[in-house]
Amino acid sequence: MRKHFTFIFLLACLGTSHAREPFHGPDLSGEYVCKGDDSHEGGYSATAILELIPSQSTGKYGAYAFKLNVPGYGSYPGHAASEGTHAAIYFAHTDASTKDYGTGIASFKKNKQGKWSFRKFYYEPDFKGGNFGFESCTQK
């Protein structure tokens, strides 16, 4: 009897789907103008693009495509996961041989003009023996 009950319970669990809560967090999407300070490379300017992926976002959690373009250095596509106004951001240079990839953590807020801005700390474990930096970005 116990085996029969366990089997029915497992079938019931497998057939149960959980309704996904609609995304209701802030939409951080947009193009941003950035100033950065890299521990190895020094100061730089960049543009960042965040694009919400609604099908992968739920509740206060957002999923994003991310891309950083740094003149003179190249492009760094990646992705981000947010909880409200905080986001983890992964990025990697398009030339994998540079080992220029890493993870950042960003805090977003609205400025006086109603545009999003964020400050990001990032860490790159393999770039030139290890690297970190900061970026301050404001939505266009």
Over the stretch 53-85, which tens digit does the pLDDT of each residue have?
A: 999 999 999 999 999 999 999 999 999 999 999
Class of domain 23-139: mainly beta
Domain boundaries, the chain: 23-139
Query: What's the rounded Cα separation, in Å, for the pair 61 and 96?
Result: 29
Query: What's the rounded Cα separation, in Å, for the pair 72 and 43?
Result: 12
Query: What's the rounded Cα separation, in Å, for the pair 26 and 16?
Result: 30
pLDDT at 35 over 60: yes
Task: Find the helix or strand (DSSP H, E) in which 65 lies.
Answer: strand 61-70
Which value, in Å, is the radius of gyration of the alpha carbons in the chain? 20
pLDDT of residue 6: 45
What pLDDT band is residue 5 in, cutting at 50, 70 and 90?
Answer: very low
Q: Has this prediction a pTM greater than 0.75?
A: yes
Tell which wins on pLDDT, 2 or 123.
123
